[in-house]
Copies of this chain bind each other. A is one copy, B any other.
Amino acid sequence: VIILHGASASPFVRKVLIALALKELPFEQIQQIPFTRDPVYRNINPLEKIPTLQDGELTICDSTVICEYLEDAYPRSALYPDNAVDKARARWYEELGGTRVAELAAGIFFQRFMRPMVLKQETDEELVKKIIDKQLPPILDYLEAQVPAEGFIFGDFMIADISLMSPFVNAGYAGYEIDSARWPVFSDFVGRVTAHPVVNQILVAEAALMGRS
Measured CB to CB, the residues of A under 8 A from B are 42, 46-47, 57-58, 60-62, 64-66, 68-69, 72-73, 84-85, 87-89, 91-92, 95-96, 99-100, 138-139, 142
Contact = CB atoms under 8 A, between A and B. Distances in A.
Most chain B CB within a 10 A radius of its CB, from A62, A92, A138, A139: A92
Given A46-B138, A72-B84, A60 B91 contact: yes
Given A47-B100, A95-B64, A95-B65, A58 B138 contact: no
A91 B53 CA distance: 13
Contacts of A72: 84, 87-88
6 contacts: A46-B96, A47-B96, A60-B89, A61-B96, A68-B91, A72-B87
Contact of A69 (B58, B65, B68, B84): B84
A97 to B, nearest CB: 12
A61 B95 contact: yes
Given A73-B84, A88-B65, A139 B99 contact: no
Copies of this polypeptide in the complex:
2
Contacts of A139: 46
Contact of A58 (B89, B95, B99): B89
Given A61-B92, A65-B88, A69-B91, 18 more contacts: A46-B138, A47-B99, A57-B85, A58-B89, A60-B88, A60-B91, A60-B92, A61-B96, A62-B91, A64-B91, A64-B95, A65-B91, A69-B84, A69-B88, A72-B84, A72-B87, A72-B88, A73-B85
A189 to B, nearest CB: 17
A95 B46 CA distance: 12
A85 B73 CA distance: 8
A176 to B, nearest CB: 20
A47 B100 CA distance: 7
Nearest to A88: B69
Contacts of A42: 138
A95 B69 CA distance: 13
Contacts of A84: 69, 72-73
